[in-house]
Amino acid sequence: MRTLLLRKGISKALSSPSSINFSSFSSSSSSLSDFLSSPQARSAVDGRRHLLGSLWSVIQRRGVKVHGSDVKVGNIIERKDRIFQVTKVDHSHEGRGKATIKVELRDVESGNKVTQRLATNESVDRVFVHEKAYIFMCKDRDAKVLLMDPDTYEQLEVSEELFGKAAMYLQDDMKVRVQLYNDTPLSATVPKRVTCVVTEAQPSMQGIQAAPREKKALLDNGMTIKVPAHIVVGDVIVINTEDDSYIERAKG
Contacts of 225 (CB under 8 A, 6+ apart): 216, 217, 219, 239, 244, 245, 246
The last residue of a domain, from among 101, 127, 153: 127
Q: Is the model more confident about 37 or about 200? A: 200
* C-beta neighbour count of 175 within 10 angstroms: 11
Q: Is 90 exposed, middle or buried (0-12, 13-18, 19+ CB in 10 A)?
A: exposed
Number of residues that make up the chain: 252
* 173/203 same-domain check: no
Q: Domain range holding 39? A: 2-14+28-62
Q: Looking at the 3D structure of the chain, how many domains does it have?
A: 4
- For position 166, which CATH number holds? 2.40.50.140
Query: Do 116 and 165 sit in the same domain of this protein?
Result: no
Nearest partner of 76 among 87, 68, 84, 65, judged by Cα: 84
d(CA 162, CA 3): 31
- pLDDT of 1 reads 45
Q: How far apart are CA 18 and CA 235, in angstroms?
A: 69
Question: What are the pLDDT digits (tens) for 40-63?
Answer: 655 554 555 444 444 444 444 456
Is pLDDT above 50 for 201? Answer: yes
